[in-house]
Amino acid sequence: MTATVIDGQAVAERLRAEIAADAADFQAQYGYPPGLGVVLVGDDPASASYVRMKRRACEQAGIHSVAHLLPKESTQEEVEAAVEALNNDPGIHGILVQLPLPAHISEERVLGLVSLDKDVDGFHPINIGLLAMKGREPLFTPATPTGCMVLLQEAGAQLEGANAVVVGRSNIVGMPVALMLMKANATVTICHSRTRNMKDIIAQADVLVAAIGKPAFIKGDWLKPGAIVIDVGTNKVDDPSQPRGYRYVGDVDYESALEVAGAITKVPGGVGPMTITMLMLNTMKAARRLAQTITL
């Protein structure tokens, strides 16, 4: 079997065209653009690059963006003040705090301060709590897990009653994607670094979401034949054959998985472009909600 490749880049481009049209309609209707506010603390090159990519994608779609770029030695109060400024800025509808924050900053306090109405990253504990509760819906769901769910839909995954295995339980990927799969009525198993017999668990998975940050860790012969595989892992590995001397690979060994899976995402070009797109979609949703509240 050769798996169908789930093309996250193509899905993201299609959705971004729709978002750009929606942003233009918004601007025409209200006379101002939807706005995203970003807080970046420190000079981690990967975080700075993610922020640049997110802002560029927003600007291309007609979403205005404002960034608070704070030095790494900023105090808790200074970071909180940046969030408060964005909370109080009527031109900003969505707020993104780029993680990780420096170790001396309380991420919990900062994320808890983001206005619920502007929590486009979906990391506010109330939004996560609503995601976890039966019969409740969060205002926003986190971008990467939402991107995974859209790609599963694109791949035609039947989630109801399916065995879904999530490898990784981080606050930003594994945990929320497991909650979203459970809301979609899958039977969810979460694996992490202390899990025993992970291969046996993965062998039962109709749907596998891998988010551990270990290059090519999950091998093709661990998979259930026909499984739908969403590979969130984005791992930089040395590759002298590349002009830059490195390339990115997922947490799943792509070549061997291609022979067994029914469908699989690529790295890069799978979940990555979807993450930014979901952030943009959430920003449009936030802008429309806030604009309607103001005009009511």
Our finding on whether 271 is near ligand NAP (CB under 6 A) is yes
Inter-residue contact 145 to 175 (CB < 8 Å): no
What's the CA gap between 84 and 142, in Å, rounded? 21
The interface with ligand NAP within residues 219-238 (CB under 6 A) comprises 232-235
45, 77, 194, 293: residue in contact with ligand NAP (rule CB under 6 A)? 194
Using rule CB under 6 A, residue 214 touches ligand NAP: yes
Q: Among the options 22, 54, 206, 224, which is catalytic?
A: 54
Residues 6+ apart with CB under 8 A from 26: 33, 34, 284, 287, 288, 291
Looking at 19-27, 102-110, 125-133, 170-178, which segment touches ligand NAP (CB under 6 A)? 170-178
Instruction: For the CB of residue 233, give the shortest distance to ligand NAP in the complex, in Å.
Output: 4
Give the residue nearest to ligand NAP (CB). Answer: 170
Figure out which of the listed residues 211, 257, 264, 279 binds ligand NAP, where binding follows CB under 6 A: 211
Q: For residue 173, what is the DSSP state?
A: T
Please report whether residue 169 would count as binding ligand NAP according to CB under 6 A.
yes
DSSP calls for 52-120: HHHHHHHHHTT-EEEEEEE-TT--HHHHHHHHHHHHT-TT--EEEEPSPPPTTS-HHHHHHHS-GGG-T
Q: Taking contact as CB under 6 A, which single stretch among the options 23-31, 76-84, 150-158, 211-219 is the one that binds ligand NAP?
A: 211-219
Q: Which residues contact 5 (CB under 8 A, 6 or more apart)?
A: 263, 264, 265, 266
Q: Is 62 in the site for ligand NAP (CB under 6 A)?
A: no
Of the pair 33, 94, the CB lying nearest ligand NAP is at: 94
Q: How many CA atoms lie within 13 A of 106 on its CB side?
A: 8
- Assess whether 121 carries a catalytic annotation: yes
**CA–CA distance from 247 to each of 75, 98, 250, 257, 273 (Å)?**
35, 23, 10, 19, 16
- Active site annotation includes 43: no
Structure tokens at 85: 């400024």
Beta strand residue intervals within 108-194, DSSP E: 163-167, 187-191
Give the span between the Cα atoms of 212 and 190, in whole angstroms. 12
Alpha-carbon gap, residue 37 to 93, rounded angstroms: 8
Is residue 47 part of the contact set for ligand NAP (CB under 6 A)?
no
Least distance to ligand NAP, CB of residue 46, Å? 8
Decide: is 36 part of the binding site for ligand NAP (CB under 6 A): no
Select the residue interacting with ligand NAP from 33, 62, 138, 174 (CB under 6 A): 174
Parallel, antiparallel, or unpaired: how do β-strands 263-265 and 246-249 relate? unpaired
* Residue 9 binds ligand NAP (CB under 6 A): no
Q: Is 98 a catalytic residue?
A: yes
Which position among 2, 29, 60, 193 is part of the footprint of ligand NAP (CB under 6 A)? Answer: 193
Q: With binding defined as CB under 6 A, does residue 172 bind ligand NAP?
A: yes
- Does 122 bind ligand NAP (CB under 6 A)? Our answer is no
167 near ligand NAP, rule: CB under 6 A: yes
Degrees, nearest 5: CA angle 141-14-115 = 25
Interacting residues toward ligand NAP by CB under 6 A: 144, 167-170, 172-174, 191-195, 211-214, 232-235, 271-272, 275
Positions marked catalytic = 54, 98, 121
